[in-house]
Amino acid sequence: KNLNLHQKLMSAPSSPKHKLSATLSNKWEVDYAAKIRSGAVYDIETETPFAELTGEFLKEVKLNSSECVLIIPDEKKSADELEDGFKHQCRVYRLPLLKPTTGHRTIDIRPLLSKSGVSTYDPGFVSTASCHSTITFIDGPKGILLHRGYKIEDLCDNSDFEELSFLLLYGELPNSADKLYHVSQIKSHTLVHEKMITFYKGFRYNAHPMAIMCSVV
């Protein structure tokens, strides 16, 4: 849900000013750090499994909104043979249909090649979702970029680096106490390790900055 960032900031709970206490530190180390680790989703599980439909299932195929059907004819059969014995000359597969929070519905074809022996042809991933994300949504043709549901324009106009980094990490904007601790954590890790400096010294003086950054990272 796309909310106005300014309104979200104004409605964020306020906390009284206080020094960084052990309670606040413990809250961050336990609750927030655990939220990052446990909240990560490395793969998508589907309610409808990828399966080949045979026998009784072909007599009356019933679909719900979370699945679709793929029909693959036998390449060795002629058009007349396929028309006479459709159910016996074709393979029918039920594929999961994923419904994202934002964007187009997506057919899950991960097991397609291994189970059916056919692949898809999509140069440049024009019609293919190559990954999933709980952080960012991008629609290049429409010029849309969202971070955790917020428009990039609102983030640029109404937030600073600390608030944005907190949003990306934890999925919500910080209140005053959270931001205070977040800033302290960033400052405590700003020193560059000597071995990192050695990496940078290995590049030519005229090397491209982006190439240097990618190599070091």
Locate 138 and state its tokens. Answer: 């991008």
Residue 104: what are its φ and ψ, rounded to 5°?
A: -80, 150
User: Phi and psi of 103, rounded to 5°?
Assistant: 105, -170
Question: The tokens of 53 are what?
Answer: 């439909």
| Tokens 């429409």 sit on residue | 142
Could you read off the pLDDT of 3-19 as tens digits, one per residue? 333 333 333 333 334 44
Let me know: does 37 contact 185? Beta carbons within 8 Å. no
The answer to whether 109 and 69 have CB atoms below 8 angstroms apart is no
pTM (whole model) above 0.75 = no
Summarize pLDDT for 152-192 with one digit per residue, the tens.
Answer: 999 999 999 999 998 988 888 888 888 998 898 888 888 88
Is residue 144 within 8 A of residue 137, CB to CB? The reply is: yes
Cα(34)–Cα(171) distance, rounded to whole angstroms?
Answer: 13
Length of the chain, please?
217
Q: Confirm if 120 and 112 have CB atoms less than 8 A apart.
A: yes
Q: What is the DSSP letter of 203?
A: S
Q: Which of 56, 59, 52 is nearest to 91 (CA)?
A: 52
Banded model confidence at residue 21, pLDDT cuts 50, 70, 90: very low
What is the C-alpha to C-alpha distance for residues 191 and 195, in angstroms, rounded to an integer? 12
Section 116-139 average pLDDT: 88
When mean pLDDT is compared across 33-47, 110-124, 125-139, 159-173, the lowest value belongs to: 33-47
Residue spans of beta strands (DSSP E) within the chain: 51-53, 67-73, 90-98, 106-107, 136-139, 144-147, 150-151
